[in-house]
Chain A
Amino acid sequence: MKAFITGTGKFLPERSVSNEEIAERLGLQPEQIFKSSGIRSRRWAEAGTTTSSLAAEALRSALEDARLAAEDVDYLLFGTMTPDRFIPGSSPSVQRALGLREIPCLDIRATCCNALYALQVGKALVTSGAARRVAVCLAEIQSAWLDLSPQSGTISMLFGDGASSFIVSDEAQTGALEILDVHLATDGAYVDDLGIRCPGTEFGAKGAGQEGAGPADYFARMNGQSVILQASRKIVAACQSVLTRNSLTPADVRWMVPHQANANLLAQVARGLRFPTDRDGVVTVLEDTGNTSSASMGIALDTLRRQERVRAEDYLLLPAFGAGFTWGAGLCRATA
C-alpha cells in the first residue's frame, strides 16, 4: 500500500514584524539580521492567540485542498514546540475546533523535524491500514517565548509564528505527492545546544528562579556555531542517505523543500549536496515568514504547490534539522 500527500494548507498571523521594528531592542542592525539569516520580516500573533487556533485554520485549508470534510479524518497528528498548555497536548483542541470525530489525536515534540516525523508516522499509519486519512498540523507561536534583549539577539531575530497542514491519504488524486521514504536520526549529546530548558523536571518545574532555574532557562537558547556546524553536515548526509537507498542522486531532484532555518544554512546544504542551482529548485519562504520551526517545511510545501510549478514525476527532497539534535530528510514524488 502507498501513502500520498493529497492536500496542503497554511495560515500566517496578520501582523508582520520587520527587522527595523526589532533590531534596536536586539542590539542588531536590520541589514545585519538579513545578511546573517535571509530574513526581512516575520509574522507574530497577537497576545492571547493559541497555537491550536493557527493550526485549525491551516487544517481547514488543507482539507479543502484535499476535497475532504472534517468527518473524513481518522487520525490527527500535531507537531509543535509551543503548545497551548503544558498538559494535555494541543491536538485535542484542534479536534474540537474542527469538529473531527472521536479519533486518535497525537502530539509530536520533535522540534523543527516535526513535519518529517509526522510524514513518517502518517505514512506508517496509512500503509499499515491503521488509518486512511491522517490530518497533520504543524504550528508555532514562538514570539511569546523570545527574549527581546541584546543578550539573545541572534536567536530572537530568527523566529516567527505560523501554521501549516497536510493530509496523508491512501488514495492518490490529481496533484498528490507519493511519500516514498523518510530518513530520521538523533544525537542527544547536543540536547543543550538548542532549546528551552523550563518548565521541566531537570531544571525546575515551578517557576522562574526556583529550584535552580533562572529566568534565562525559560527563553530559547542556541549555540549557533554548533547548530551550523552539525546541521550543515548532518542534513547533507541525511539527504544522501535517503537518495542513495532510492537509487537517486541530487541531480534527479527537482525541488528541495527544506525546513526554513536560515538562508545561509540552506545555501550551504545545497552546495554540500551539489544540488543544481540553475533552476530555482530550493524553495524558500523565510524572507517574509522567518523561521517558523515545526510549521516552516509545510508552509514552503504549500506555497510551492499553490504556485502550480510541480509536474508529474518531479522528485521532492525535504530536509530538516532541529533541537535534540534530530535531523533527517523525506523523499516524495509527484503523481500525474
Chain B
Amino acid sequence: MALPQGVIDFLNESARSNGAEQPGASDDLFQMGVLDSFALVDFVTVLEQETGISVPDGDVNPANFQSIEQIERYVESRR
C-alpha cells in the first residue's frame, strides 16, 4: 500500500530543509539526513494523523521507520 500524500510531503519537506535529496522507496531516511531523533517524533505524529494508526511508544524507534518501504510495512502491520 502507498503512504498518504501528507506523509510523503512531510518527508520531502524534511529532506528539503536538511539539504537532502528527495527519498526513494528504499533509501535510508536516517543516513540521508531526512529524519533524526527529533524529526522522527514529529513524523510519527503526522503518520498517526494521516493513516489513522496508533504507534505505541515502544515502537517509536528508527528500525521501524528506516525507509519508505519499511514505513509502509509497519503501517500495514498496525491496521
Interface residues of A (CB under 8 A from B): 187, 189, 224-226, 228-230, 232-234, 264-265, 268, 271-272
Partner of B42, one of A189, A230, A271: A271
Instruction: Report B's interface with A, CB cutoff 8 A.
Output: 37-38, 40-42, 44-45, 57-58, 60-62
The 13 sampled A-B contact pairs (Cβ below 8 Å) are A187-B57, A225-B37, A225-B61, A225-B62, A228-B38, A229-B41, A229-B61, A232-B38, A233-B41, A233-B44, A233-B57, A234-B57, A265-B38
Report the bound CA distance from A224 to B62 in whole Å.
Answer: 13
A175 to B42, CA, bound (A): 37
Which B residues are CB-close (under 8 A) to A234? 57
Report whether over half of chain B's contact residues are helix, strand or loop; otherwise say mixed. Answer: helix
Please state if A232 and B62 are interface contacts (CB–CB under 8 Å): no
The CA-CA distance from A264 to B44 in the complex, in Å, is: 17
CB distance from A84 to the nearest CB of B (A): 35
| Apart from A228-B41, A264-B38, 15 more pairs, CB < 8 Å | A187-B57, A225-B62, A226-B61, A228-B37, A228-B38, A229-B61, A230-B60, A232-B38, A232-B41, A233-B57, A265-B38, A268-B38, A268-B42, A271-B42, A272-B45
Question: Contact at B37–A229, with CB atoms within 8 Å?
Answer: yes
Residues of A with C-beta under 8 A to B61:
225-226, 229
Chain A residues closer than 8 Å to B40, beta-carbon distance:
229
Which residue in chain A gives the minimum CB-CB distance to B44? A233
Q: Which A residues are CB-close (under 8 A) to B58?
A: 189
* Contact residues in A for B44 (Cβ distance below 8 Å): 233
Q: In the bound complex, how far is the Cα of B62 from the Cα of A226, in angstroms?
A: 10
Instruction: Tell me whether A224 and B37 are in contact (CB under 8 A).
Output: yes
Which residue from B38, B45, B57, B62 sits with its C-beta under 8 Å from A230? B57
Contacts of A230 in B (CB 8 A): 57, 60
